[in-house]
Amino acid sequence: MAKKYFGTDGIRGKVGEHPITADFFLKLGWAAGRVFANEGHGFVLVGKDTRISGYMFESALEAGLTAAGVDTRLLGPMPTPGVAYLTRTLRAQAGIVISASHNPYYDNGVKFFSVHGTKLPDEIEKEIEHYIDTPMTTVESSGLGKAKRISDAAGRYIEFCKASVPTRLDFDGLRIVVDCAHGATYHIAPHVFSEIGAEVVSIGTEPNGLNINEEYGATSPQKLAETVLAYRADLGIALDGDGDRLIMVDHKGEIVDGDELIYIIAKSRLGANELSGPVIGTLMSNLGMEHALKQLGISLLRAKVGDRYVMELLVENKGILGGEGSGHIICLDKTTTGDGIIAALQIIAEMQHSGKNLHELKSGMTKYPQVLLNIKTKTKPDLDGNETIQKAVKDVEKKLGTSGRVLLRASGTEPLIRVMVEGQHEDKVTEYANQLADQVTKAMGA
């Protein structure tokens, strides 16, 4: 049975519109509390990013958990991967993150972590949804949950991040610009990189509740590139609002995306004989990464778009490295979920170990031009059952041969068909993408 509230990455939407409302979060906290209480006594961690609505939703979740008889430990602003780590190491029953990740401040959401620091299984999310749709009750006063704040949460996570790179490596003399997107890493990331010995220039570290991800961070790395050039830094690090995405900038001001970063880490692990299983990408991972990995003897498997699906394939194939071009990078040999700070540390550790700068490290991979077009539709399309569309796709695939790729998929959240064409020559890729989009539009009557 399909889930009613939970999507592929928790629950997310616009603040004030169902289900991102205070009353729903109260009920969600109670429903989750009922499920966790059934599994025994313990406590639940609650962290958040820097959105102004986080105060409201933190209080609502706390009240719901308390009514269900579950103790709460409040972390305050904390990156999503930090909550995952603390949930595991503090042996909490679960961790809850109030965040809409890379979205603007007027959105918010919630995601859960299990005691193992991984996303909740589908069956637990469905059980929580069952309670959401039942009347809310309150336990006897003697059984109410208690809440308190954990004051050393940031310090614990900082030390964990630093421990992900060898202490023998010397980062003295390395100048790094760190962009925290005015988000949850603002009080953490600069300390991590300065405490390993680098000189740090910080931007995007002044959250006011309304500026998260605005013109800063992994989704807007232009200011980072400008700052790297202005300070003549060795590299730049851009995190998103909740710290689970990473985009970097080399000393020339060139943006290095998630696919390129995954390639660098994969090559590093292979050289150290520490790579196991295939690398996991997604349907959108650049073909250039696949070809570059293949030259190293590393296979790439593609999951559906979304870090949840990347994680599923990693576990299924006993791999340790995967992610997306958007910057979700999962290093399972270091942590249990996508973590921007951990991924960045792996890159700069390879820089110091190899003696190469970031520009040189990425040069082993050539990104292929990729054109993505969105076609609006009135109804949910049946792409597989439309012979005209399938013929058009095969025609383009034949023209591209082994040096290109076509991806046609319906959006899971909007009435859109996404047309992606990728290949070695940008002019041909653009031409084929427009041709295919026109044929799909006519065939669907869009």
71 and 91 Cβ atoms separated by less than 8 Å: no
φ and ψ at residue 395, rounded to 5 degrees:
-65, -45
Q: For residue 279, give the 3-state DSSP assignment.
A: strand
Q: For residue 262, give the 3-state DSSP assignment.
A: helix
Query: What residue type is assigned to position 351 of the chain?
Result: M
Catalytic residue among 53, 101, 114, 285: 101
Q: Which residues of 147-174 are buried (b: 16+ CB within 10 A; e: fewer)?
A: beebeebbeebbebbbebbeeeeebeeb
Q: Which of 106, 107, 102, 92 is nearest to 47 (CA)?
A: 92
Q: How far apart are CA 387 and CA 310, in angstroms?
A: 30
| Known catalytic membership, residue 101 | yes
Helix or strand (DSSP H, E) at 179: strand 175-179
Q: How far is CA 34 from the centre of its chain?
A: 28
DSSP 141: G
How crowded is residue 126: how many other Cβ atoms within 10 Å of its Cβ? 17
Strands (E), 99-146: 107-114
Distances (CA, A) of 317 to 23, 322, 431: 41, 11, 37
112 and 65 Cβ atoms separated by less than 8 Å: no
Distances (CA, A) of 24 to 53, 111, 188: 14, 14, 31
Place of tokens 């990425």: 362
Q: How far apart are CA 40 and CA 147, in angstroms?
A: 17
Q: How far is CA 353 from the centre of its chain?
A: 27
Distances (CA, A) of 103 to 13, 324, 420: 9, 17, 23
> With the CA atoms of 310, 312, 313 and 317 taken in that order, what torsion angle do they form, in degrees rounded to the nearest 10?
140
Q: How far apart are CA 275 and CA 196, in angstroms?
A: 25
- As annotated, the active-site residues are 101
